[in-house]
Amino acid sequence: MSGGVDSSVAAALLKKTGYDVSGVFMREWVPKGMECSEPKNRQMAARAASHLGIPFAVWDFRAVYETNVASYLIREYAAGRTPNPDIMCNKDIKFGVFLDAARRAGAHYISTGHYVRLQATPTLLVGAPTKSVGAGHYIRREPEFQISNFKFLKIENYKLKIALDINKDQSYFLWTLTQRQLQHCIFPIGGYTKLHVRQLAKKFGLPNWDRKDSQGVCFVGELNFGKFLRAQLPVREGVVVATDGTAVGTHDGTEFYTIGQRIGIKNYESGIMGKREPVYVADKNLETNTLVVASDDSPELFKSECAVFDVSWISGEQPKLPLQCLGRIRYRQPLQSCRIEAQNYADSMEDSAEFFSAKVRVTSASIRVRFAQPQRAVTPGQSAVFYSKAGEVLGGGIIE
């Protein structure tokens, strides 16, 4: 429980359904010198748990976050890439050490306030549909259960699907999840709109029903990211050039800029190609510490393909490539038609240190993604996430 309305409603729905629910607040990692929003978040989470009459605990994974996520962010930015902290937090913290700790504490499942749906496919000894609870919004699952003398086998396959509320869908951040993790997850609010969740929170009498949504970083909260980076990485003044190579100003270091980002240029006098207009980062060279900028509609800002590495498939099964599907390269981007092709696929799977057995995590070193339409600001370090036409999350990887 983060103190926000989504996780509080998730807890309320689970309790109403009959689950034995405990609330857990994870302490927030705060960089030195930064303001901390944890006390008010923890207090609100405790109030919500008290209102629901459920046990409440505070767990501390800050050291793991600093090692696995914060340090990773700094390394990636120093290498000229733009990582996504929320994806790494989900992978290593919420569905990593937190899930493991919850299981050790005796929990069968963990539940979060993510807007995403989980579909479970059971294998049956005697035919009958999956037992569902609560208007079809989520499934109450037991490892084995008996209904009217029908013995069910364990559910063998889990599909992660886009949330009902497209504007709040968070499936983009969950492409690293595995079958092993999903079998212990419940996402109660994936079948609701945000408006409905607010209405439920008010109906349940939750103290945070009208609390403003957080725009902060996962596990960190509100954070001035530019200030954080500048405290970690040295300022290196470099040259800004237009796409024709003309020097147009200076910058503080390529590490601080992202492909597609609108920027202000220090000592910007002549403009781009004689015009003073908003400019965007089209490319950057870490070795020469040079930024290339272009106007908003410049062809240099668009690419039709990209390489993607550290690819993970949620099903745990290697898909047959080439694969025609849908994809997105940033949060909330409308799904784009694309084709995934092998790029030394078989060899990379044999050699990859990231390769795990089926049903746990299947990954390849690199694939190539070709989009039907050119994409603006394809950013190294960000995630490309792939979907079926039915809205199932197939998997994803890191843009190279």
232 HSE (CA, 13 A, CB side) = 20
Distance (Å, whole) CA 243 – CA 293: 6
Residue 36 designated active-site: no
Look up 306 and say whether it is catalytic: no
Task: State the DSSP H helix or E strand holding residue 88, giving kind and residue range, or none if neither.
Answer: helix 85-89
d(CA 11, CA 24): 10
Q: What is the spatial order of strands in the sheet that 150-162 belongs to?
A: 116-124, 150-162, 146-147
Asked if residues 59 and 25 have their Cβ atoms less than 8 Å apart, the reply is yes
Looking at the DSSP bridge assignments, the partners of residue 305 are: 370
CA dist., res. 190 & res. 55, Å (int): 24
CA dihedral angle for residue 78, residue 79, residue 84, residue 88, rounded to 10 degrees: -90
**114 and 185 in contact (C-beta within 8 Å)?**
no
Torsion 10-15-18-23 (CA) sign:
positive
What's phi and psi for 376, nearest 5 deg? -80, 135
Catalytic residue among 185, 218, 306, 338: 218
89, 185, 306, 338: the active-site residue: 89
Contact by Cβ (8 Å): 15, 21:
yes
Q: What's the longest Cα–Cα distance across the chain?
A: 81
- The total of other beta-carbon atoms located within 10 Å of residue 33's CB is 8
- Helix 71-78 and helix 225-232, axial crossing angle in degrees, nearest 10: 80
- Just list the catalytic residues: 89, 218
